[in-house]
Amino acid sequence: MDVHLLVYDLSRGLARQMSQGMLGFHLDAIYHTSIQLNGREYVYDGGIVDIVPGSSHLGQPMERIYLGKTELPMEVIEEFLDSLRPIFTVESYDLWKHNCNNFSDSLAQFLLGKGIPEHIVKMPDAVLNSPMGRMLMPQLNQTINSNRQNGSILGIQNNAATNGY
């Protein structure tokens, strides 16, 4: 089965335009990622959900990166996903250290023996190492915590097509 990384820009282009001035370095996007496998998109949004690819309110991904091919059967993959569910919960979500990109990286590691591109996984550290990033951290954390009350961080599981899953 082909494994793809779906890459979304949560800033909808603002990071590319404003990051240099605000953070002191250029960011192409504020990355949200998921793994596309076997006709499904596996997402961490306060819990692990699988949706019809591109059906969330985030729209179509800005990039679809081919990561490789897995020979693992879906039963084994589903067991692995079930083992991750207690780890990737709404309570454990952390914008900086335990987020959708960490989930995508863990799943890619399992499926292929290699993770997702490093610049995506390390983006939060780069932001936090800037003075403006540290200044914005409390406000961003507060926004995430208020969204957490709905059982979701981005609202994906509330408005994406699941095809009965």
**Rounded to an integer, what distance in angstroms lies between the CA atom of residue 131 and that of residue 114?**
32
CB 28 within 8 A of CB 15: yes
What's the distance, CA 140 to chain centroid? 16
Residues 115 and 109: beta-carbon distance below 8 Å: yes
Q: Which residue has the tokens 């863990």?
A: 106
Query: In a 3-state reduction of DSSP, which class is residue 64?
Result: strand
Question: Alpha helix locations (H) across the chain?
Answer: 14-23, 74-84, 100-112, 118-121, 123-128, 131-148, 156-159
Residues assigned a catalytic role: 32, 100
